Amino acid sequence: MGNFYTDVIQRDSRFQSATRVAELDLLEPTTRRLVEQIVDSAQKMGIPLIVYETYRSQARQQELFDQGATKLRKVGVHHYGLACDIVRSIGGEPSWKGDFAFLGELAHASGLIWGGDWGNPGIKHSFVDAVHVQRSTVAREPALFAGTWYPDDTYNPYADDPHLLFAAATPSKPTGSKSAAAVPRPKKRS
């Protein structure tokens, strides 16, 4: 059975786009609705936001990696239409400055995982991405990337099996290889 990734994203002309994609139509519908909800809520709080990046191709990820703009060589949840980068709008221009804790609160309230705590504020994370939200737990990512899992309309990452969140805190790959080191891997507080 198909899903938004196989039915829409893979068939879209932007699938291999090497340039940034900010259009909401490449976000999986529930993700899209929640992102719009967050932007509306922030606007009401007096914080204008810009949806900076939605879908990302592997070609763009490789380019960003080569430029040193990301530590991740392999494209992540953005590639599946389930992640979005949302930045502040300062005079109409995108800005990464300031505190994004409000985004964490809005993400949590809407049912998206925030890259500031990866859904688990109790853990000290080695990898923080304060402008990033996504509709899957970190623990689901390997299955998502393998094509064996995709969220349905009702999936709520916060209601996902707790052991999956816990599993995200434990490295699943042996360290030492470059790709393993590039995976965002929350570490337990020591």
- The β-bridge partners of 113 are 134
- Least distance in angstroms from the C-beta of 176 to Zn ion: 26
**Pairing relation of β-strands 93-95 and 132-134?**
unpaired
| Binding track, positions 82-111, relative to Zn ion; x by CB under 5 A | ---x--------------------------
Q: Is 60 in the site for Zn ion (CB under 5 A)?
A: no
Q: How far is the CB of 127 from Zn ion (least distance, A)?
A: 11
Q: Which is nearer to Zn ion, 55 or 150 (CB)?
A: 55
Length of the chain: 190
| 79 binding Zn ion? (CB under 5 A) | no
**The two structure tokens encoding residue 134:** 């996504």
Q: At what angle do helices 29-44 and 101-110 cross, to 10 degrees?
A: 130
- The SS3 assignment for 53 reads strand
Nearest approach, Cβ of residue 190 and Zn ion (Å): 27
Residue 132, interface with Zn ion (CB under 5 A)? yes
Spell out, one character per residue from 18 to 57, where the chain touches Zn ion: x when CB under 5 A holds, - when not.
----------------------------------------
Taking the C-alpha atoms of residue 168 and residue 93, their distance in angstroms, rounded to an integer, is: 35
Residue type at 12 in one-letter notation: D
Assigned token pair, 42: 């922030």
- Bridge-partner residues for 84, per DSSP? 133
Binding site for Zn ion (CB under 5 A): 85, 132
